Structure 1
Amino acid sequence: MWLSLPIWVIGTAALSPVVSGRLRPLRFAWVVFVYVTCEALLLVVMFGLWLASGFGWRLRTPYFQGIHYDLVQGTMWVFFLEARRVLRLRIETEGPTPAAHPGRPILVCCRHAGPGDSFVLIHTLMAWYDREPRVVLKNTLSWDPAIDVLLNRVPARFITPNPEAGVDLERQIGELATGLDADDAFVIFPEGGNFTPRRRQRAIDRLRQLGMERMAQRAEQMIHVLAPRPGGFLAALDAAPDADVVLVAHTGLDHMMTVADVWRELPMDKRIVMRWWQVPRAEIPAGREERIDWLFAWWERIDEWIAENRPAELPTGRS
């Protein structure tokens, strides 16, 4: 790609006058170049670390895991710095500071909507909270070579949202959340996937099929989020009894649901707002049903926050 850079610059610059948006093809191509360059360099550096660890023998030790977390933080810093400059993207964070969780691990529950929101979340956790994240994420992200190699060297778990029979996701999530340190953050997306109106309706229908009519009615009142799937979150709570809970809402990218949406919105010139809430462990109910009700209540609060803060011209989540 770098050898052919002059061709890309000439081609995208020639397309820019006939495509809406200021230099959209050129700016988009540059962000892709930066991402692929970061990915290629990461793979080379991680190959060197594999050799240095004794052909992978010591990769899982705290020393080498710390190096990999530093790689993630540095790479994201470079990529987000350039992406924000080129795409004129602003990320604003509201909520508790890192001092709100001194010496305690945290369980981070985030809504899932829009392209790259998980990257923004992890970048914020590492840069603002100074945490080492343990992430539960969809197995489709393992198609990315650098993500696949990296997250198989640090505590993380690729899962299938609708697994085959016999796959115990709650057990896997509980194992990942076990033994959290004071500088750890366990990250989970209880909705199980990016928000779309169709997925929202499927989540409501699923609750009704399970005979949970009251929860289905509550889910129908939430316009901007999917009904949360509590199993993984409850497993993490049980596995990390000392952890506080942090809930995260964001808006600004949630209306971009397809590749066509992303292209249409570039150059982005967007403002992403992230809202964080801290809940001390002592305030979380002990019983399973009470915890499910607590999680739904928080998701209703997140839905209200999104309604108040998302750009007024965007459509709602009703299908």
Structure 2
Amino acid sequence: MLPPKLVRRLVVAPLVIVLALTLLLLSPLLLLLSLLLPSRYGRRRTMRLVWFAVVWALMEAMALLACLGMWVSSGFGGRIRSTLYQERHYALMGWFLARIFAIATKVFDLRVEIDEPEHTPDELRARLARPVIVLSRHAGPGDSFLLVHHLLNLYQRRPRIVMKAALQLDPSIDVVINRLPHAFVRPRHAGVAPNVDEDAGAGADSGHVRESAVLGEIRRLAAGLGTDGALVIFPEGGNFTRTRWKLGIQRLEQRRRYADAWRARRMTNLLPPRSGGVTAALTAAPDADVIFVAHTGLDDLVTVADVWRGLPMETVIRARWWRVVATDVPRTHEALVPWLFDWWERIDAWIAHQRVTRSDGDLPQDPVETRDSEPA
């Protein structure tokens, strides 16, 4: 249950600024205590986490102060949703993510590699001729931050994001995203809204009303995409766990979708994709291309204990982007569901291949090539 918006703005956001200043003042002491820790307690891990926590808190505080300044300059919120201020908020988001990305890669010794074909400058400019709908795997800490960072700062896209409502507990996300086109999904429908067949009979009860509202929000976001827009959806609805994987298969079987359940059981790295939000987006944006995003490297870091044991990470995060042009994208639910499962099987195979090559120490090669693969 989220605190009311007024509480989040007047209590939680100022607390973040106070916390940032406190951490900044205490950082020399905290780093000294980290140095004095016995090595068996993770001295290096503690130092890196302390340093990153201080930087993150300061960045959050600066972002919130910038948002406050824009709110005042917009006439105390009167023009905050105008095109000018939306561009300013996208610029702020891009700056924040770029700084966090640069710091995180150094502090945790990460390397990010994106596999995509090379293009000429003319081709790179031409790729902004149509909007895109981005369907991404959901796994590991920070995956959505990396994705949005690359869309904003590498591909110059303006992302619209379907995300969990609980992320509003982060004050900077709460303020910035709520001033930009977005859709927040409540826990019952975490990730991407329900399947289309789950929405049948919408309005029969409050749950169906909420489901229909989520699909309506996704349609609105997709229909309003400009040539540089990107609607981001995570069809799995959450990080992969064995429990969620089994529940996803059971859900399909309960709906007598036995063929889909059989296909989902063969995918051991991904949750079965939910098609409701994807169908809503693709029918509302018939001119949009589709980008499928796979990534691996932080997959096994699910719990706080996993993250602690994994530090310093010293790893390579690999991503693979595939582009499907609008004319090759099915737009009906009947055709879209098997097409979505086809792509999810391809992504699952890519992830399995990356894990094998990583354990063997070989350079990974994509096991499946596709002619329509290109950058976003």
TM range (shorter): over 0.9
Within 5 Å, which residues of 2 pair with 1:1-319? Answer: 1-15=23-37, 17-20=39-42, 23-96=44-117, 98-99=124-125, 101-163=127-189, 164-167=207-210, 168=212, 169-310=214-355, 311-312=358-359
Asked whether the equivalents of residues 161 and 193 of structure 1 are also in contact (C-alpha less than 8 Å), the reply is: no
Identify unmatched segments of 5+ residues in structure 2: 1-22, 190-206, 361-376
After TM superposition, give the deviation of residue 14 of structure 1 in Å: 1.6
Asked whether the equivalents of residues 283 and 332 of structure 2 are also in contact (C-alpha less than 8 Å), the reply is: no
Count of residues in correspondence between the two structures: 312
CA–CA distance in 1 between the matches of 2:178 and 2:320? 29
CA–CA distance in 1 between the matches of 2:100 and 2:333? 41
After TM superposition, give the deviation of residue 100 of structure 1 in Å: 6.5
SS at match of 1:109: strand
After TM superposition, give the deviation of residue 16 of structure 1 in Å: 5.9
After TM superposition, give the deviation of residue 145 of structure 1 in Å: 0.6
After TM superposition, give the deviation of residue 206 of structure 1 in Å: 0.5
Query: What is the Cα-based RMSD across aligned positions, in Å?
Result: 1.4
After TM superposition, give the deviation of residue 28 of structure 1 in Å: 1.1
Work out the percentage of aligned pairs sharing the same amino acid: 45
Structure having greater relative contact order (Cα 8 Å, sep ≥ 6): 1
User: Which residue does the alignment assign to 2:202?
Assistant: none
SS at match of 2:86: helix
After TM superposition, give the deviation of residue 161 of structure 1 in Å: 4.7
CA–CA distance in 1 between the matches of 2:38 and 2:243? 34
After TM superposition, give the deviation of residue 6 of structure 1 in Å: 1.7
Asked whether the equivalents of residues 161 and 192 of structure 1 are also in contact (C-alpha less than 8 Å), the reply is: no
Asked whether the equivalents of residues 178 and 239 of structure 1 are also in contact (C-alpha less than 8 Å), the reply is: yes
CA–CA distance in 1 between the matches of 2:38 and 2:97? 28
Asked whether the equivalents of residues 110 and 314 of structure 2 are also in contact (C-alpha less than 8 Å), the reply is: yes
After TM superposition, give the deviation of residue 171 of structure 1 in Å: 1.3
Change (3 A) 1:217 1:162: same
CA–CA distance in 2 between the matches of 1:71 and 1:263? 30
CA–CA distance in 1 between the matches of 2:260 and 2:325? 25
Q: Once structures 1 and 2 are overlaid, which stretch shifts more, 58-67 or 96-105? A: 96-105
Change (3 A) 1:100 1:290: farther
More helix by share: 2
Task: Calculate the TM-score normalised by the size of structure 2.
Answer: 0.80
Asked whether the equivalents of residues 131 and 230 of structure 2 are also in contact (C-alpha less than 8 Å), the reply is: yes
